[in-house]
Amino acid sequence: MVGLWQGVLIADGYLPQSGFDCDFGPNTRAATIEWQSDRGLKADGEVGPQTFGRADNNLFWNGSEIRYNGTNSDLGSMYRNSAGRWYVAGSSSIAYLSYSDDSLCG
């Protein structure tokens, strides 16, 4: 789930593209706190229901794809396959969602 969240932060201008590493490290946490603060949320650096719920306001389905309307750029043509990997059209996966092993990102 970290990769998808980092995509949101990149699209909203809180994390540089070079920050996409599927690791919820100090840079992602700091960007998350800033993102939360700017939206009047509890700025705790955790992506819980309220934080992701706010991001969900900009996520939408377009056929079988998920898109995110960011403030700086948009994430488009994302989809999740049956293995739980998120993809952007024409690229490798951006996040691997696995509730048993969230550390994988391929």
pLDDT tens per residue across span 71-88: 888 776 666 667 666 555
For the CA atoms of 77, 22, 92, 34, the dihedral, rounded to the nearest 10 degrees, stands at 30
The SS3 assignment for 88 reads strand
Has domain 2-96 been given CATH number 3.40.50?
no
pLDDT tens per residue across span 19-53: 888 789 999 999 999 999 999 999 999 999 999 99
CB-based contacts of 84: which residues, under 8 Å, 6+ apart?
96, 97, 98
Q: What's the sign of the alpha-carbon dihedral 11, 78, 48, 46?
A: negative
